[in-house]
């Protein structure tokens, strides 16, 4: 009679459990890394937009023409649902004197030469040209799970 030295039923179950735990661990780690990368991409895009806003702000100060400013005035887009939802968070006072809030959509970004900055569906950047502050209406989650809407608050 031959001796069979294969895995027993219990050994097979333990092996399957070990493989499952390793698989779930790898999937969890990859998901966490993807979320971190997405947040970093959003922050990088916001910094790119902020750099362009600073340049346009400087041009505006030199020329004193509002035609230099790219985007749609925030006051003209307050009825758009994503903008309405964002303004309900009261992150800034839209009626503050001497502030120039504008909304940037994908076409505005392309016009500014920021073709690599891609907005999610129903998302906008809200920029304030006097302080060069940039807000992202969808926000992004940091590594602690906190929601941020501007680079300066992270």
pLDDT at 25: 95
A 10 A CB-CB count for 100 gives 16
**pLDDT score at 87:** 86
User: What pLDDT is stored for residue 18 in this prediction?
Assistant: 96
- Whole-number Å distance between alpha carbons of 66 and 72: 11
Position 20 scores a pLDDT of 96
111-153 tens-digit pLDDT: 888 888 888 888 999 999 888 899 999 888 887 888 888 877 7
Distance CA 106, CA 96 (A): 26
pLDDT at 95: 78
Q: Specify the pLDDT at position 3.
A: 58
Q: What's the DSSP call for residue 120?
A: P
Query: According to the model, what pLDDT value does residue 90 have?
Result: 83
Using CA atoms, how far apart are residues 121 and 30, in angstroms rounded to an integer? 24
**Complete edge-to-edge strand list for the sheet that includes strand 133-141:** 72-73, 101-104, 125-128, 133-141, 147-150
Query: Residue 80 has what pLDDT?
Result: 84
List per-block mean pLDDT (blocks of 10 residues) for the chain, which spans 154 residues. 70 93 95 88 91 86 77 85 86 81 91 88 89 89 84 73
The C-alpha atoms of residue 133 and residue 74 are separated, in whole angstroms, by 14
Q: How far is CA 25 from CA 14, 21, 39, 80, 142, in A?
A: 17, 6, 21, 42, 21
Q: What angle (nearest 5°) sits at the alpha carbon of residue 116, between those of residues 113 and 118?
A: 110
Question: pLDDT value at position 136?
Answer: 92
């Amino acid at each position: 009679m031959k001796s069979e030295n294969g895995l027993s039923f219990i050994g097979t179950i333990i092996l399957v459990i070990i493989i499952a735990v390793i698989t779930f661990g790898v999937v969890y780690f990859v998901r966490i890394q993807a979320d971190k990368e997405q947040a970093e991409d959003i922050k990088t895009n916001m910094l790119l937009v902020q750099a362009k806003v600073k340049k346009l702000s400087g041009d505006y100060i030199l020329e004193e023409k509002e035609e230099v400013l790219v985007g749609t005035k925030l006051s003209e887009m307050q009825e758009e649902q994503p903008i309405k939802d964002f303004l309900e968070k009261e992150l800034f006072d839209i009626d503050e004197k001497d502030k120039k809030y504008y909304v940037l959509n994908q076409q505005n970004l392309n016009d500014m030469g920021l073709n690599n900055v891609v907005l999610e569906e129903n998302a906008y950047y809200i920029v304030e040209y006097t302080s060069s502050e940039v807000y992202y209406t969808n926000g992004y989650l940091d590594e602690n799970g906190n929601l941020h809407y501007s680079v300066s608050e992270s």
